[in-house]
């Protein structure tokens, strides 16, 4: 983005996907393994060295495994370097396998509209009881990571260090049964049916809503302390 000298108003550069003269084409007869590697991989290795652990091409898509601590730095470079221009964060998610030893993978799907490239980044979090389930947040690189990281935290319990407001987004903030997409999460929840019913009957349903949505003023006192602090500080519905 630049600023017009004549009017002082912001102007935007028009981005044309792909190289001049290129036309989008549907790939056919794609091999399961192997194939052309995304050229960003060589650039990543040249820039970050040992932090780029390995890479693979599966069904035409390139996946790069990176060092957990370097995630935010790598993403900032991919987004900001003119030779890469991964301006669009498609998704942030995680994968846990049924294998009790295999690490949990945190996944970032990136797309460069300018160069018509797709890149998948992964960071592995061993389930050894020693390695924290945490990775750096990329919110400072792509603001769209805000709710994506909150959902991943809510469902898998993975913390995104540096996120400005990391809290549950699908389950209510008082939810005590854990993280529903983890493989050790029981199909019917951690609590017995009787305990779930007991908690449901004891809960004040109004306490799940913001101050603007409350119709009973006393319900505000039932909210968690941190939620009350945010609402008193001016947080609006849906934030």
pTM of the model: 0.75
Interatomic CA distance for residues 204 and 222, integer angstroms: 7
If one compares 208 and 106, the residue with the highest pLDDT of the two is 106
Query: What is the pLDDT averaged over residues 3-10?
Result: 59
Q: What is the pLDDT of residue 90?
A: 98
Give Cα separations from 114 to 41, 97, 122, 194, 206 (angstroms): 17, 34, 23, 56, 47
Q: Is the pLDDT of residue 50 over 60?
A: yes
8 A C-beta contact, residue 21 and residue 39? no
Q: Is the pLDDT of residue 140 over 60?
A: yes
Domains annotated for the chain, with CATH where assigned, are 32-173 (3.30.460.80)
Strongest mean pLDDT among 113-117, 176-180, 193-197, 218-222 = 113-117
Q: What is the pLDDT of residue 179?
A: 92
Q: Is the pLDDT of residue 230 over 90?
A: no
Q: Hey, what are 213's tokens?
A: 């949505």
Query: What is the pLDDT averaged over residues 12-38?
Result: 74
Q: Is the pLDDT of residue 20 over 90?
A: no
The contacts of residue 1 (CB under 8 Å, 6+ apart) are: 10, 11, 12, 13
Q: What is the pLDDT of residue 216?
A: 42
Q: Average pLDDT over the chain, rounded to whole? A: 84
Interatomic CA distance for residues 46 and 134, integer angstroms: 26
Q: What is the pLDDT of residue 227?
A: 77
The contacts of residue 231 (CB under 8 Å, 6+ apart) are: 210, 211, 220, 223
Q: Which of 59-63, 199-203, 213-217 has the lowest mean pLDDT?
A: 213-217
Query: What is the pLDDT averaged over residues 100-110?
Result: 96
> How does pLDDT run across 66-100, given as a tens digit for each residue?
999 999 999 999 999 999 999 999 999 999 999 98
Residue 125 phi, psi dihedral angles, 5° rounding: -120, 100
Q: Residue 215: which pLDDT band, with cuts at 50, 70 and 90? A: very low
Residue ranges in the chain assigned as alpha helix (H):
40-48, 71-80, 145-156, 193-202, 225-232
Q: What is the pLDDT of residue 151?
A: 97
């Amino acid at each position: 983005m630049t600023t017009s000298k004549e009017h002082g108003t912001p102007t935007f550069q028009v981005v044309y996907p792909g190289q001049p003269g290129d036309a989008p084409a549907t790939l056919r007869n794609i091999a399961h393994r192997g194939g052309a590697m995304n050229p960003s991989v060589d650039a990543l290795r040249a820039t970050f060295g040992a932090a780029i652990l390995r890479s693979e091409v599966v069904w035409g898509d390139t996946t790069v495994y990176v060092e957990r601590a370097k995630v935010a730095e790598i993403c900032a470079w991919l987004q900001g370097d003119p030779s890469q221009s991964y301006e669009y964060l498609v998704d942030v998610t995680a994968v846990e396998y049924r294998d009790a030893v295999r690490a949990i993978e945190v996944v970032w799907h990136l797309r460069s509209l300018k160069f018509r490239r797709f890149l998948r980044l992964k960071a592995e979090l061993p389930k050894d009881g020693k390695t924290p389930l945490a990775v750096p947040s990329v919110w400072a690189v792509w603001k769209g990571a805000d709710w994506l990281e909150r959902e991943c935290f809510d469902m898998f319990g993975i913390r995104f260090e540096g996120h400005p407001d990391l809290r549950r987004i699908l389950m209510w903030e008082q939810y005590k049964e854990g993280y529903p997409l983890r493989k050790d999460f029981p199909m019917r929840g951690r609590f017995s049916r009787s305990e779930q019913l007991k908690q449901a009957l004891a809960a004040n349903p109004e306490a799940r809503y913001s101050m603007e949505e409350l119709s009973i003023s006393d319900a505000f006192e039932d909210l968690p302390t941190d939620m009350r602090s945010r609402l008193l500080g001016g947080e609006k519905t849906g934030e």
